[in-house]
Amino acid sequence: MTEFITESEAKAKAKDNATPINDLINPSDIEDNAEEWSDIDDETLEMELVESAEIILSESQQPFDSIVFDLAITFLQDDLTRAPMEDLAFDSMEKAVEKGYWPYSMDKWECREILEEMAQNHNWYWDCHSEAYNVVFGGIVEGMEPEE
Is the residue at 63 inside a domain?
A: yes
Share the mean pLDDT of the chain. 90
Q: Which domain holds residue 66?
A: 7-144
Please state, for a pLDDT cut of 70, what percent of the chain lies above it: 97
pLDDT score for 121 = 83
Is the residue at 60 inside a domain?
A: yes
Is the residue at 35 inside a domain?
A: yes
pLDDT tens digits, residue range 31-67? 988 899 989 999 999 999 999 888 888 876 788 989 9
The Cα 56–Cα 61 span in angstroms is 6
Nearest to 71 by CA among 142, 130, 144: 130
The Cα 28–Cα 40 span in angstroms is 9
The Cα 113–Cα 92 span in angstroms is 14
Is the residue at 123 inside a domain?
A: yes
The Cα 100–Cα 103 span in angstroms is 10
Residue 72 makes CB contacts below 8 A (sequence gap 6+) with 119, 125, 128, 129, 131, 132, 133
Is the residue at 2 inside a domain?
A: no
Domain total in the chain: 1
Is the residue at 121 inside a domain?
A: yes
Is the residue at 23 inside a domain?
A: yes
Is the residue at 12 inside a domain?
A: yes
pLDDT tens digits, residue range 94-117? 999 999 999 999 999 999 999 999
